[in-house]
């Protein structure tokens, strides 16, 4: 079992493997679904982002996420737990060409957590904050992450061994300082679990008209209680959360699929192109055409 004395060596090896898989800035997919690498060579301005449920292990540099008045900072040798889909403004605050911001992101699903909890026979956790959480990276967790990165170079082993290592990583998190938050989310029917059901519904059906009464019924809360609890967790009301998801997905469609603003707006549920443009500008700081031009110019720089 690796100890804290092994952390510097494990980190150096993980950085080398991650840099090889992420040769340039941006988000890099890997052959393993759910595992992504992110690299940035310079600090950046805050940008609206979608943080999907999972674990972020920072190997180098520093980043922060702002939700309302709350700011969470995470840097080298820390892991960020994203228990439920979050829509913060993310910002790389420490990075350089010689030492770029570098992290690996591993997604996780509530069902996988529930199955692992059942098999591991871990105790139930008390209800707690279901927002973004940060804790130091432990040697066993980093060593497992390193093995997962190494498997990317042996495709014949990936399909069989990667799920075992992913399961170990989740186990290390569940039994570490971040574990109670994850256990509360996957067990029972507490507040975190019920709010997560609403977030999952909004995430799946963001392009559809959804009423606050329907969402409140899903959470077994009154509309006013849902509004209050949801905003405490996400810094947004449920319908603001849905609107932000729509705008984020429309931006992705325009960037990746080349859709024009009107087509993207219609695809994500907007009936009014002018309303879409107005709300897009409010979120991203510029109308769609100007924002996309700025985004592409930044990517080429």
207 is written with which tokens? 């392009």
Instruction: Sort residue 263 into left (φ over 0), alpha (ψ -120 to 50) or beta.
Output: alpha
- Give the position of tokens 């988000």: 27
d(CA 166, CA 162): 6
Q: Is the pLDDT of residue 39 over 70?
A: yes
Query: What are 171-204's pLDDT values in tens digits?
Result: 898 888 888 777 777 666 678 788 989 999 999 9
Whether the CB-CB separation of 2 and 147 falls below 8 Å is answered with: no
- In the beta sheet, which residues pair with residue 104? 37, 57
Q: Which residue has the higher pLDDT, 232 or 117?
A: 232
Arithmetic mean of pLDDT over the chain: 90
Buried b (16+ CB within 10 A) or exposed e, 33-72: ebbbbbbbbeebeeeeeebebbbbbbbbbbbbbebeeeeb
What is the per-residue pLDDT across 68-96, written as a single tens digit (0 to 9) for each? 899 999 999 899 989 889 999 999 999 99
For residues 286-298, average pLDDT: 85
Instruction: Return the DSSP state at 268.
Output: T
Buried b or exposed e, range 190-203, using 16+ CB within 10 angstroms: bbbbbbbbbbbbbb
Q: Which of 48, 7, 6 is nearest to 137 (CA)?
A: 7
User: Which range, of 63-67, 134-138, 248-252, 290-294, averages the lowest pLDDT?
Assistant: 290-294
**Residues 4-20, mean pLDDT to the nearest whole number:** 94
Cα separation of 34 and 50, whole Å? 15
| Predicted confidence (pLDDT) at residue 113 exceeds the cutoff of 90 | no
Cβ-based neighbours of 232, under 8 Å, separated by 6 or more:
none
On whether the CB atoms of residues 181 and 81 are closer than 8 A, the answer is: yes
pTM of the model as a whole: 0.89
| Nearest Cα residue to 224 out of 239, 241, 212, 210 | 212
75 close to 133: Cβ distance less than 8 angstroms = no
Q: Please, are residues 141 and 110 in contact by the beta-carbon 8 Å criterion?
A: no
Residue ranges and CATH numbers for the domains of the chain are: 4-186 (2.60.120), 189-301 (1.10.10.60)
């Amino acid at each position: 079992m690796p100890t804290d004395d092994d952390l510097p060596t494990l980190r150096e090896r993980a950085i080398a493997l991650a840099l090889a898989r992420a040769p340039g800035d941006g988000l890099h997919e890997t052959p393993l679904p759910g595992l992504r690498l992110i690299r940035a060579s310079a600090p950046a301005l805050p940008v609206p982002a979608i943080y999907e449920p999972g674990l972020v292990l920072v190997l180098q540099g520093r980043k922060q996420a702002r939700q309302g008045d709350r700011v969470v900072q995470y840097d080298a040798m820390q892991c960020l737990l994203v228990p439920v889909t979050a829509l913060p403004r993310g910002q790389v605050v420490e990075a350089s060409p010689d030492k770029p911001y570098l992290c690996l992101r591993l997604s996780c699903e509530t069902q996988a957590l529930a199955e692992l909890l059942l098999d591991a026979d871990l105790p139930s956790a008390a209800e707690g904050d279901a927002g973004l959480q940060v804790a130091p990276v432990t040697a066993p967790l980093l060593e497992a992450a390193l093995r997962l990165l190494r498997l990317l170079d042996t495709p014949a082993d990936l399909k069989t061994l990667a799920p075992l290592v992913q399961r170990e990583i989740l186990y290390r998190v569940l039994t570490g300082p971040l574990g109670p938050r994850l256990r509360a989310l996957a067990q029972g029917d507490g507040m975190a679990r019920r709010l997560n059901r609403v977030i999952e519904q909004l995430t799946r059906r963001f392009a559809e008209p959804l009423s606050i009464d329907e969402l409140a019924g899903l959470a077994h809360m009154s509309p006013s209680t849902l509004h209050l609890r949801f905003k405490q967790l996400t810094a947004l009301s449920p319908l603001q959360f849905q609107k932000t998801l729509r705008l984020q997905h429309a931006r992705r469609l325009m960037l990746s699929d080349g859709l024009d603003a009107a087509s993207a707006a219609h695809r994500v549920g907007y009936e009014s192109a002018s309303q879409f443009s107005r709300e897009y500008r409010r979120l991203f700081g510029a109308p769609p055409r100007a924002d996309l031009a700025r985004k592409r110019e930044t990517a080429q720089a």
